[in-house]
Amino acid sequence: MINIILCGGSGTRLWPLSRTLMPKQFVKLFDNQSLFQLTIKRNSQLCDEQFIVSNSEQYFLALDQLEELNSLHNHYLLEPMGRNTAPAIALACMALDPNEVVLVTPSDHLIKDQIAYENAVHRAIVLAEKGFLVTFGIQPTFAETGFGYIEARSVNGESLDVNGLDVIKFHEKPDVKTASEYLAINHSSLTTRHSQFLWNSGMFCFKAGTFLEELEIYSPEIFLTCKKAYEHAKYDGMIRIHHEDMLAIPEDSIDYAVMEKSEKVKVIPSDIGWSDVGSFDALSNELSNDEANNFIFSHKHVSLIDVQDLIVIDTEDALLISQKGSSQKVKEIVGCLKKENIELTKTHATVHRPWGTYSVLEDKPGYKIKKIIVKPGKRLSLQKHFHRNEHWIVVSGTATVSVEDKSYIVRENESTYIRAGEIHRLENQGKIPIVLIEAQVGSYTGEDDIVRIEDDFNRES
What is the C-alpha separation between 11 and 29, in angstroms, rounded? Answer: 14
What is the tally of structural domains in the chain? 3
DSSP string, 360-413: EEEEETTEEEEEEEE-TT-BPPEEE-SSEEEEEEEEES-EEEEETTEEEEE-TT
| Model pLDDT, residue 196 | 87
What is the C-alpha separation between 414 and 130, in angstroms, rounded? Answer: 67
> Is 298 within the bounds of a domain?
yes
What is the C-alpha separation between 425 and 353, in angstroms, rounded? Answer: 15
> Is 461 within the bounds of a domain?
no
| Run of H or E including 134 | strand 133-138
Q: Are residues 251 and 291 in the same domain?
A: no
> Is 400 within the bounds of a domain?
yes
- Say which amino acid occupies 302: V
What is the C-alpha separation between 242 and 365, in angstroms, rounded? Answer: 37
| Model pLDDT, residue 186 | 81
What is the C-alpha separation between 157 and 194, in angstroms, rounded? Answer: 7
| Model pLDDT, residue 191 | 45
Q: Are residues 95 and 150 in the same domain?
A: yes
- Say which amino acid occupies 370: K
| Run of H or E including 29 | strand 28-30
DSSP string, 139-198: PPSS--SSS-EEEEE-TTS-TT-TT-EEEEEEEPPP-HHHHHHHHHHHHHHHHH---EEE
Q: Are residues 32 and 137 in the same domain?
A: yes
Please state whether beta strands 310-314 and 382-384 pair in parallel, antiparallel, or not at all (unpaired). Answer: unpaired
Q: Are residues 322 and 216 in the same domain?
A: no
Please state whether beta strands 28-30 and 33-34 pair in parallel, antiparallel, or not at all (unpaired). Answer: antiparallel
Q: Are residues 174 and 213 in the same domain?
A: yes
Residue range(s) defining the domain that contains residue 297: 280-343
Cis peptide before 16 (omega within 30 of 0): yes
DSSP class of 22: B
Residue count of the chain, please give it: 461
Q: Which of 343, 359, 387 is the last residue of a domain?
A: 343
Q: Are residues 265 and 284 in the same domain?
A: no
Mean pLDDT by runs of 10 across the 461 residues of the chain is 90 90 93 96 94 90 91 90 95 98 97 96 96 95 89 65 81 91 78 76 97 98 98 93 96 96 95 93 85 88 92 93 91 90 86 93 94 97 96 97 96 96 97 97 92 87 56
Of 29, 105, 18, whose CA–CA distance to 318 is shortest?
Answer: 18
Q: Which of 274, 295, 324 is the last residue of a domain?
A: 274
Q: Are residues 358 and 289 in the same domain?
A: no
> Is 459 within the bounds of a domain?
no
> Is 460 within the bounds of a domain?
no
Residue 398 sits in a domain whose CATH number is: 2.60.120.10
| Model pLDDT, residue 51 | 97
Q: Are residues 118 and 201 in the same domain?
A: yes
Residue 257 sits in a domain whose CATH number is: 3.90.550.10
